[in-house]
């Protein structure tokens, strides 16, 4: 379980199900979590602070300050302390106040200032639960990322039977564990990235084109990994046969020029870019509108330079993260160092076609990370593992700021 050593703040509100909060606290402590409890005044009518404090092995918070010695109970520091804030039971009243930002007790001020994941386990009578207003409030809370542990069907304190019974403490404990597991991986929440991937296609005429062997696998794996860590990813993709990774916005382009325009239009507002595409350095200077006919002798196609997408982002990088690739066949490290400087990359992921299993097409890659601090080489591994290394580099880059 992900609960060992975690700080869990349990919020208890005034519901008959408050007795289950005592069992919840016991379950959490048993899993190795540190538990603190914040109660509303109404909750104290249903379960005593003494019971909760004994089970939590910590004092209970109800008032903004301790009436005996005037000690201030800071909602901000409670929220900062917590790795997860779980409000169980959550009454219709507290849910409504949370949805509308009302902050008239310590539990609610803590909710408004908490930066950790928040979970609610509603408990109320069936008609209160099925009331459209309660539904709207829960939807509003879900839309701002509050996790909801749905109540169960069964016998209710009112004597009626239906949906409204708070979920069992053991089940809530499991859900907290899952939530924390997921939250740990969401290290790039709120970060926006552009990833380029695949080969560009430079037309010669309506039938022929210049391209390269890139399949896009590396760039797609990176986009998927960044998105799975909570980043908002736009994948600017040359031609590939790959499906769009889950949670990623994909923009299809053909030529280097189109890729340049698509990237340039999105760089502002991004926190980082990973330039993984195999972009043609040259494109036919003139594209024939009709199929070029063959003639007796040889023929030449005049090529002109394409824009360097990565370098154009690097020139206006500021404190954003920019990662590039270097696929080399010779003078690998020297060339990678050159790119680091010329394009203003923070990291160059170097791979050499001299290494078996590296480069185009396959599912594996063998890379060296080249940064201003030095170089680190890794063994041959799955492209998904290389993607994880690159995402971990992004994690630590943003931690510096
Ligand atoms: O200079 P070279 O093409 O070897 O540099 C490779 C790096 O630069 C890769 O990250 C690639 O995606 C990027 N690049 C680019 N635009 C180009 C050429 C390369 O973004 N026109």
Q: What is the pLDDT along the chain (401 residues), one digit of tens a residue?
A: 579 999 999 999 999 999 999 999 999 999 999 999 999 999 999 999 999 999 999 989 988 876 666 677 676 788 888 999 999 999 999 999 999 999 999 999 999 999 899 999 999 999 999 999 999 999 999 999 899 999 999 888 888 888 899 999 999 999 999 999 877 778 898 999 999 999 999 999 999 999 999 999 999 999 999 999 999 999 999 999 999 998 999 999 999 999 999 999 999 999 999 999 999 999 999 999 999 999 999 999 999 999 999 999 999 999 999 999 999 999 999 999 999 999 999 999 999 888 887 778 788 999 999 999 999 999 999 999 999 999 999 998 997 65
Mutate to test the pocket of ligand 1, among 202, 280, 324 (most ligand atoms within 8 A of CB): 324
Catalytic pick among 7, 58, 212, 344: 212
For residue 34, give the nearest of 61, 1, 57, 60 by alpha carbon.
57
Query: Considering the entire predicted model, what is its pTM?
Result: 0.65
Residue with the smallest CA separation from ligand 1 atom 17 is 308
Residue 7's contacts (CB-CB under 8 Å, 6 or more residues apart) are: 33, 34, 36, 81, 82, 83, 84
**308 CA from centroid of ligand 1 (Å):** 6
Residues with CB under 6 A from ligand 1: 196, 256, 275-277, 279, 281, 306, 308-310, 324-326, 339
Q: What pLDDT was estimated at residue 158?
A: 83
- CA dist 247 and 241 (Å) reads 18
Architecture of domain 192-398: 3-Layer(aba) Sandwich (3.40)
**339 CA from centroid of ligand 1 (Å):** 9
Cα dihedral sign for 97, 100, 102, 107?
positive
Q: Of all atoms in ligand 1, which is nearest to the CA of residue 276?
A: 12
Mutate to test the pocket of ligand 1, among 194, 266, 277, 338 (most ligand atoms within 8 A of CB): 277
- For residue 326, CA distances in Å to 168, 278, 330, 397 come to 54, 10, 11, 20
Q: pLDDT > 90: what percent of the chain?
A: 83
Q: Of all atoms in ligand 1, which is nearest to the CA of residue 256?
A: 21
Q: What is the CA radius of gyration of the chain?
A: 28
Q: Of all atoms in ligand 1, which is nearest to the CA of residue 325?
A: 10
Residue with the smallest CA separation from ligand 1 atom 21 is 308
Q: Do the two domains 7-182 and 192-398 of this chain adopt the same fold?
A: yes
Residue with the smallest CA separation from ligand 1 atom 9 is 325
Architecture of domain 7-182: 3-Layer(aba) Sandwich (3.40)
For residue 92, give the nearest of 62, 118, 127 by alpha carbon.
127
Residue 357's contacts (CB-CB under 8 Å, 6 or more residues apart) are: 364, 365, 366, 380
Domain range annotation of the chain: 7-182, 192-398
- For residue 166, CA distances in Å to 17, 111, 157, 251 come to 7, 20, 11, 45
**276 CA from centroid of ligand 1 (Å):** 8
7 in catalytic set = no
Contact 319, 401 (CB under 8 A): yes
**292 CA from centroid of ligand 1 (Å):** 29
Residue with tokens 């591994």: 381
Residue with the smallest CA separation from ligand 1 atom 19 is 279
**324 CA from centroid of ligand 1 (Å):** 7
């Amino acid at each position: 379980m992900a609960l060992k050593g975690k700080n869990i703040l349990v919020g208890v509100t005034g519901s008959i199900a408050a007795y289950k909060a005592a069992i919840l606290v016991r379950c959490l402590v048993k899993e190795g979590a540190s538990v603190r409890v914040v109660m509303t005044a109404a909750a104290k009518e249903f379960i005593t602070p003494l019971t909760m404090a004994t089970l939590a092995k910590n004092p209970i918070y109800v008032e903004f300050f301790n009436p005996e010695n005037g000690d201030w109970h800071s909602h901000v520091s409670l929220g900062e302390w917590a790795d997860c804030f779980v409000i169980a039971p959550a009454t219709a009243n507290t849910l409504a106040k949370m949805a509308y930002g009302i902050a008239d007790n310590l539990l609610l001020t803590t909710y408004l200032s908490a930066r950790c994941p928040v979970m609610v386990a509603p408990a109320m009578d069936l008609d209160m639960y099925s009331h459209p207003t309660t539904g709207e409030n829960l939807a509003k809370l879900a839309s701002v990322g509050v996790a909801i542990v749905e109540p169960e069907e069964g016998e209710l304190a009112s004597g009626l039977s239906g949906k409204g019974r708070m979920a069992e403490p053991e089940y809530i404990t499991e859900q907290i564990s899952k939530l924390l597991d997921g939250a740990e991986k969401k290290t790039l929440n709120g970060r926006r990235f552009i990833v380029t991937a695949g080969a560009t296609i430079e037309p010669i005429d309506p039938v022929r084109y210049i391209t390269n062997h890139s399949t896009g696998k590396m760039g797609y794996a990176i986009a998927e990994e960044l998105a799975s860590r909570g980043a908002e990813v736009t994948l600017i993709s040359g031609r590939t046969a790959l499906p769009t990774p889950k949670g990623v916005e994909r923009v299809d382009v053909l030529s280097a020029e189109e890729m340049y325009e698509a990237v340039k239009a999105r760089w502002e507002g991004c926190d980082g870019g990973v330039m993984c595409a195999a972009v043609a350095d040259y494109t036919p200077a003139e594209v024939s509108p009709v199929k070029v006919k063959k003639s007796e002798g040889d023929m030449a196609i005049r090529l002109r330079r394409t824009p360097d997408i990565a370098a154009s982002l690097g020139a206006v990088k500021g404190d954003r993260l920019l990662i590039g690739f270097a696929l080399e066949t010779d003078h690998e490290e020297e060339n990678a160092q050159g790119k680091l400087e010329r394009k203003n990359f923070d990291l160059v992921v170097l791979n050499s076609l001299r290494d078996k299993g590296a480069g185009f097409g396959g599912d594996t890659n063998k890379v060296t990370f080249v940064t201003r601090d030095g170089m680190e080489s890794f063994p041959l591994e799955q492209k998904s593992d290389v993607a994880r290394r690159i995402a971990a580099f992004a994690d630590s880059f943003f931690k510096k700021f």
